[in-house]
Structure 1
């Protein structure tokens, strides 16, 4: 289960930030090896305070493990041919890092594995970065002899769409029924630098597809917009930013909104601090009533969707209906200049060989 991760305790914050800013796939920086540690040191006190404010660390590892354990149990029933199943967590910037998980896989003697991204929508800067790291470990033999396949995106899977629609409905129920239809639904996703978007990264279109599918399920009951959060640094990022959208809605006379973390499947700092403690409160100061749709976390509907994704993948792969990777994963961004990306795609297409 591949994800960005987050520091489980406040003292882990610096290492998390250093790993994050050192990753050119996520945040391309000039002189990255010099700038990344400097930025991490400067930002650590501020981010440590944010993690303290949300309870002393990120809960993303807790929820990823819950999701993985329950998914594996369901998978034993849905696809007994490959049982027993075990979920491993490989975070990109926080423990357990990919290198730690690689050692665990090798120690357990794993021979068949699925690299299952926990980002519903694909981006070279998130799923791509995790797969690049997994590829690097595989090429050096740190993973042992494993046959790999990949679940690389699933932002319109019916189970995911249903789980998202249900949390939106629960948030809308907090408003009076007679005026509920006036509530604006703001789908908020982590933004990307425009340099990544402009090279042809599919993330923006895939997030939009998720939003469209959820609103179809909700029968377009409310006005909605897709907005973007978590911009870092002075360079241009995908917009409009969530905070600016809230200010704009207030200026235009809107009084109610629901914030929906459409690209996040577990609570972490972007939901618990940025959405809850910044944007919701900012809306309140502007006279708006803003509710945040809960993250999927331990949602049984969502966990069943993960199990369905995995069982369908295993069944189709075993029958030869699909290869180790999807057709879409094999297409590099038209503006890609990252040699590792191309090598990684070829490696996984050969089953990790």
Structure 2
């Protein structure tokens, strides 16, 4: 009799669970393999991830920022770079001034949030034929971090992930480091897709999950008209008051710094052509808030001297590489030109031209099939980083006939799951060669 009562009671409990929503799959034996934990409609979207190095707002986080940045730049242990930062901190006047002035300006995270929300709205309006867009932002040395953001994206699911570094002009240390870190985090949490004959590294699959997505990136966008159009809108009404323009940009040493300077020069030329070559111009380099002072014969003071030598005393200073406010435009540049009798043009994160231009860049990337640039696949001089090879393999344009060789994924950047996915198959080298032959 007792057995019949217990059996009937168990049947009643099971019927109650079914009436409450049928969530029997949430028991411990089914919870890890259930595909119902992620609603299908949540994964139907294209995610755009805006990447930046970040801007700390306290001295404590500024020291951490500089120590981690120096660790990546000089390839030294962070314990050593932290020691040097502590020793040199009393001499870091630009960093201290930038952090001290940040309470008088809008937080950097608020600017990034505004840009991502505006870009998301613009993309959903501009590309209604796509699944919905979701834009977020992440920082390499600040909050929210790239690690936590990518973890959230892989957990929630997406159809395609587009990486967009917010540095218009390509620099290996700034743009390249962001892409390397983002791709490394993606590879740690996902496996690449494997068909009958090839490894497709750009298609990622989350283990024990129904989530799969494609990864692409916009590695450089200085050639897009967005920069020249944005500065033209700010300058063309003011040019009657000035007789010259001084374009300024932070100096990048090493890590492809020469190519960076060429891209900046090309942008300056585009802006002047939009202004119909109405005034003479020069370009000057300065040390950014997070770098050493610039030692160059093309400094701001020297270039202003040559402009005045030619009778140009009404000069407008334009931070050509800064599409939105930063420590460089809010603190460093005003301090450098405060005694030079010149005017500075300030960028704005509320610029509709900037948002529309970024939306056009994403549209061209998705609709016109514009992958990463061919220049992105070339090695920098003296580059020995395995992370760069991994990034190029994942972001390699699918339109090319060459296939990525799994040998570029070497330790320590390949996870155990990634290594098992290769199956140690022999590639047909005669069909197109390896990635970096």
TM-score of the two chains, using structure 2 as the length reference: 0.68
Q: Match for residue 205 of structure 1?
A: 262
Residue 172 to residue 63, structure 1, CA distance change in 2 (3 Å)? farther
- Partner SS for 1:89: strand
Which of the numbers 306, 313, 316 marks the counterpart of 2:365?
313
2: CA distance, partners of 1:314 / 1:341: 24
1:249 to partner: Cα distance: 4.3
1:331 aligns with 378
Determine which of 212, 221, 230 is the counterpart of 1:163: 230
Aligned counterparts of 1:58 and 1:94: Cα–Cα separation in 2: 16
Structure with the greater alpha carbon radius of gyration: 2
1:224-243 paired onto structure 2 within 5 Å: 224-230=281-287, 232-233=291-292, 240-243=298-301
CA distance in 1, matches of 2:142, 2:222: 24
Query: For residues 346 and 48 of structure 1, do their structure 2 counterparts lie closer, same or farther at Cα, with a shift above 3 Å needed?
Result: same
Contact 1:164 1:296 in 2 (8 A): no
Q: Higher relative contact order at CA 8 Å, sep ≥6: structure 1 or structure 2?
A: 1
CA 1:58–1:248: 2 relative to 1, 3 Å: farther
Question: Cα distance 1:56–1:21, how it changes in 2: closer, same or farther (>3 A)?
Answer: farther
State how far apart, in whole Å, the 1-side matches of 2:130 and 2:148 are. 24
Is 1:196 matched up with 2:249?
no
Match of 2:83 in 1: 38
For 1:40 and 1:58, locate their aligned partners in 2 and report how far apart those are by CA, in whole Å.
Answer: 27
User: C-alpha displacement at 1:334, in angstroms?
Assistant: 4.2
Say which is worse superposed, 51-60 or 306-315, in terms of deviation.
51-60
Name the CA distance, whole Å, in 2 between partners of 1:244 and 1:94: 35
Unmatched tracts of structure 1, length 5 or more: none
Match in the other structure for 1:186:
246
Match of 1:261 among 309, 319, 322: 319
> 1:75 corresponds to which residue?
123
Distance 1:96 1:169 in 2: 37
Q: Residues of 2 paired with 1:337 and 1:238: CA distance?
A: 28
- Answering whether residue 221 of structure 2 is matched by residue 154 of structure 1, we say yes
Distance 1:5 1:172, change over 3 A: farther
Aligned-pair distance for 1:15?
A: 2.2
C-alpha separation between the residues in 2 aligned to 1:149 and 1:162?
26
Distance 1:20 1:301, change over 3 A: same
User: Does the CA-based 8 Å contact 2:246-2:284 persist in structure 1?
Assistant: yes
Give, in angstroms, the shift of residue 215 of structure 1: 0.8
Structure 2 unmatched runs, 5+: 1-49, 191-203, 207-211, 399-403, 405-417, 419-437
Distance apart, 1:248 and its partner CA: 5.1
In structure 2, the CA distance between the partners of 1:350 and 1:253, relative to structure 1 (3 Å rule), is closer
2:337 corresponding residue in structure 1: 280
TM-score (norm 1): 0.82
Structure 1 residue 210: Cα displacement = 0.8
**Shift in CA distance, 111/243, structure 1 to aligned 2, threshold 3 Å:** farther
Aligned-residue Cα RMSD (Å) equals: 2.8
Structure 2 residue matching 1:82: 3-state secondary structure:
coil
Contact 1:111 1:146 in 2 (8 A): yes
Q: Give, in angstroms, the shift of residue 219 of structure 1.
A: 0.8
Instruction: Tell me what 2:137 maps to.
Output: 89
Of residues 1-10 and 125-134 in structure 1, the stretch that sits farther from structure 2 once superposed is 1-10
Match of 2:276 among 195, 209, 219: 219
Q: Is the 8 A contact 2:53 2:139 kept in 1?
A: yes
